[in-house]
Structure 1
């Protein structure tokens, strides 16, 4: 589910109900529309973020903005896992100016 915002492809990554790493990986795979061959291993989100060939159409040229919503309950319940996920997002965004990741502070509405 990607929209365009100021020329960027915007993907909402909603973590509502995510309770563990497997759930996080599955939610990332669905939101980011990862191809089946990406699998669901622990490196899949980092691999995806670093592989522009599988980004949504137009994202490489226009940029990709991932908006992470409803992340606070997961971060509170699994702080070490969340820290790792946050680091993956931050490192990927540092590697390419085409990627931005925003943590939404409001609710889902």
Structure 2
């Protein structure tokens, strides 16, 4: 399981920095929305967990969502699209927004 902790993240650059650090994204991550989507649909960098599934937990996201609602919608769309991309595969991705 990987955890993306958004506590204290207040802008897009800080979000990208946190993704890079918390998720250990590959060197080719370009720190933009398209590149984040690419990373989440090419999970060759993410070790498969027991049972073949991958889990991403997003913590402390409420502050980011309130401060940047447009960008939060983009993030949610990217996460949803990644889940749909991996649905019904041997390495399904599950995203959990923790309250």
TM-score by length of 2: 0.86
Cα deviation per residue 1:31-56 (whole Å; 9 max; x = unaligned)? 1111222232332221111002111x
Structure 1, residues 64-93: CA drift from partner, whole Å, max 9, x if none? 110000000000010000011011001110
Determine if the alignment matches structure 1 residue 30 to structure 2 residue 21.
yes
Q: Select the structure that is richer in strand.
A: 1
- What is the rounded CA distance, in whole Å, between the counterparts of 2:17 and 2:58 in structure 1? 14
Q: Unpaired runs of 5+ in structure 2?
A: none
> What secondary structure, in the 3-state scheme, does the structure 2 residue paired with 1:100 have?
strand
Structure 2 CA distance for partners of 1:60 and 1:93, relative to 1, 3 Å: farther
Structure 1 residue 102 and structure 2 residue 96: aligned?
A: yes
User: How does 1:51-62 map onto structure 2 within 5 Å?
Assistant: 51-55=42-46, 57-59=47-49, 62=52
Relative contact order, CA 8 A, sep 6+: which one is greater?
2
Question: Which has the higher mean CA deviation after the structures are superposed, 58-67 or 11-20?
Answer: 58-67
For 2:39, the equivalent position in structure 1 comes to 48
1:10-21 matched pairs, under 5 angstroms = 10-21=1-12
CA distance in structure 1 between the partners assigned to 2:95 and 2:76 by the alignment: 9
Matched positions, count: 95
1:79 aligns to what? 69
C-alpha distance in 1 between matches for 2:43 and 2:50: 6
So what's the TM-score if we normalise by structure 1? 0.79
Q: Does 1:93 align with 2:80?
A: no
